[in-house]
Every structure is written in C-alpha cells, then in structure tokens.
Structure 1
Amino acid sequence: MKLILVRHPQPLVAPGVCYGSTDLAIAPGKLEHTLAALQLPAGLPLYSSPLRRCAELAARLSPAPRHDGRLAEIHFGAWEMQPWDAIPRTDIDAWAADMVNYRPGGGESVLQMAERINAFYNELTTDAIIICHAGAMRLLTARHEGLSPAEMALQAAQTAHQIPYGATLTL
C-alpha cells in the first residue's frame, strides 16, 4: 500500500509555543505556498486530521476529504499554548526520561497517540493521501515499517523533528 503523507502548512502561532492538538489557523500566505509546491496524484482517497491547519489544506485538495480525529497531533494537556520556556524544567525532564509513556501536561502519551494512529492505519485498504502533523507522520512511517504501537512510539520519540511544514513523504 502506497501512502503519501503531507504535513500541514505553517500554523499561525508564535515561535517557541507548544501547540500540539490546539486547533490553529494557517499563517497568512502559507496555504497558497504549500498548494503551489504540492504535486499529488489524482484519484486517491484523501484523509485529514480535523484540525484546521490540515482540514483547510485537505478541502483545497479534495471535494470530499475524510476527516479522522485519530490523525490529530498529540495533546499536550496543560502545556498547550504555553511557551516551551515557561514549562517547568522538571516536567520536561520527566518527559525526556520516559518519552513513550509520560503524558506531557497531563495530556496524551506518545504510546496513546501511537495506538490511535495504529487503529487508523489498520483500517486503510488502499493507497491514500494523508494530510496530518509531524508526529503523526513519524508514527505512520513506523507503522508502515510493520512496528507495533509500543515500537512505533519508541521510534517516533527517538526521531528528531525534521519535517518541514508542507513537506511530502511517500511510503
């Protein structure tokens, strides 16, 4: 099965802010910039995170995108929309000590996110385009390699964030 993963355009948020599952608008001009750079095949089903930064791109790419909440970015709980510098160092250290199971800000662990991404992946039956987030892209890549949710979470947690806004990854 061939999957084309597309990261959403740059959201409208100040640099250095933790935003995970917060439903942010797309920064001005970034939707058009992303659309101009994309070259996607026609005729494939298109799935999207329901968060605006993905859904707005999906709506421009398909007349009938399929929104799926399991594709949303990780929920950072009380950390959402906080400057990373304002999050207590002890909390960041606790997350770094257990990247797979720790629930940052009381939100969602990487393992919990991996389980929902795994459930989404297991329902796919055909090639598809998926508009989502960097975290979901790392987890989908790990799942496509045949990893279990625990292995997916560990691999994603150990993978540096190197996926630019609007980037495409073909699996």
Structure 2
Amino acid sequence: MDLILVRHGRTDADPGLCLGHADVPLSSRGFTDIQKLATTWSGPAPRFLFSSDLRRAQQSAQIFASAFAIEPLADARLREADFGRWNGRHWNEIIKAEGADYRHWLDNWVIQEAPDGESFADVVRRTGAWLAALIGSTGADDCVLAIAHAGSIRALLCHALGLPPDRALAIGIDEARACRLRCANRQFEVRYMNAARFEAE
C-alpha cells in the first residue's frame, strides 16, 4: 500500500491563533495551493480518499474528490489535536490569561492534555487506530490519499516509522504539501516528505 498524506491548505485564521478543533475554512490562497498540488497528480486515482472531518480538510479533500470523481470519507480520527478550551484563541491571550497551565502543558506536551483537550500521545493513539484499520483493509497495490493536519500527520508518521513522539516537531509539515509512505509486510518506508508536488513513482 502507498499512503499519501496531505496537509490542508491555508486558512482565514489570524496568525498566532491556536486552531486545533476550531472549524475554520480555507482561504482563497488555500484553495489555490491545493488545486495547484492536485494538478501534479499522475497515475491512477487513489482507491480511497480520506479526510479529517474539520472543514479546512474537507474543503481540501473536495478538490481531490472532483479531480478523481470519488467520494471522500470523513474520519474524526484524522483531526488536528484538540486543545480544549484553547481552541480558536490566540496563543498570546492564552499565555497571558493561563500562563501556569500553558507552561505546564508546554513542558509536557507529549503526555499532558491541553485543558479540556488531549495530549499529543492521545493524537498518536487515535491516528494509530485509523492506520491499523487501514492496513487491515487494503491490498499491496492500493494507493490511499488522506487529507489531514500538521499534528495528525506528525502523529501518523511517528506511529508508522516508530519515531519517539517528542521528536514529532522535528518533522516539517507545511500547508498544501504531501508525504508518501510505502507499506509492505506492515513495515513503512518514506518515499518523500513535505513535497510541493506529487512525485512520480
């Protein structure tokens, strides 16, 4: 199986906003960037097109759905990390109003949940459950495209490649960029990372 992970395009959110589960739409630039990426696809359409159920990912997935004439499958397990009561607030405001909670979370973000939210370890677990189900339902020659978020893609890469979760932020995952993994005998290898175009295989 080939698994291609794409981060959604840019949004209309202000810089410095803690997005998390805040359901913001793509910006016009976000639509354009995803459309540009989609035009670089070569070869047959993927067997499955998955998407986080947050709007910015679903809007990105619809661009690929139109190109491939397939229906995207929304799955909440591909969502960005849930920052609880911090979702949709500016980080500067959070630091000012809840400095102690923020510092405690920042020092322990892998295992520490955001207030009323989840930890990165939680994201690794839920994306890992999605990945395990995918491996169990696909064949060796299948290609799967999934539209997700920086946090959930990093979590999937940690799970697939056996990386320590505390090294997740070392992986660059930019908007409207693609990562490709190949899975054989339940082992993953990286074909390319954070690419601005789909590379021929």
1:130 aligns with 2:140: no
Computing the radius of gyration from Cα coordinates, the structure with the larger value is: 2
2:86 matched residue in structure 1 = 79
2:184 matched residue in structure 1 = none
State whether residues 49 and 72 of structure 2, in contact with CA within 8 Å, keep that contact through their aligned partners in structure 1: yes
Matches of 1:154 and 1:59 in 2, distance apart?
A: 33
Tell me whether 71-80 or 97-106 shows the greater mean CA deviation.
97-106
3-state SS of paired residue (2:21): coil
CA offset at residue 161 of structure 1? Answer: 6.4
Q: Percent of aligned pairs with the same residue?
A: 31
CA offset at residue 135 of structure 1? Answer: 0.6
Structure 2's unaligned 5+ residue stretches are 182-201
State whether residues 84 and 115 of structure 2, in contact with CA within 8 Å, keep that contact through their aligned partners in structure 1: yes
1:155 aligns with 2:167: yes
1:50 matched residue in structure 2 = 53
1:22-78 Cα offsets, whole Å, 9 max, x none, are: 111111232122211332343211111011111111122123111111000011111
1:9-30 Cα offsets, whole Å, 9 max, x none, are: 0111111111111111111232
Matches of 2:26 and 2:171 in 1, distance apart?
A: 20
TM-score by length of 1: 0.88
Matches of 1:160 and 1:12 in 2, distance apart?
A: 26
Structure 1's unaligned 5+ residue stretches are none
1:108 aligns with 2:124: no
Matches of 2:26 and 2:158 in 1, distance apart?
A: 27
Alignment RMSD (CA, Å)? 1.7
State whether residues 10 and 29 of structure 2, in contact with CA within 8 Å, keep that contact through their aligned partners in structure 1: no
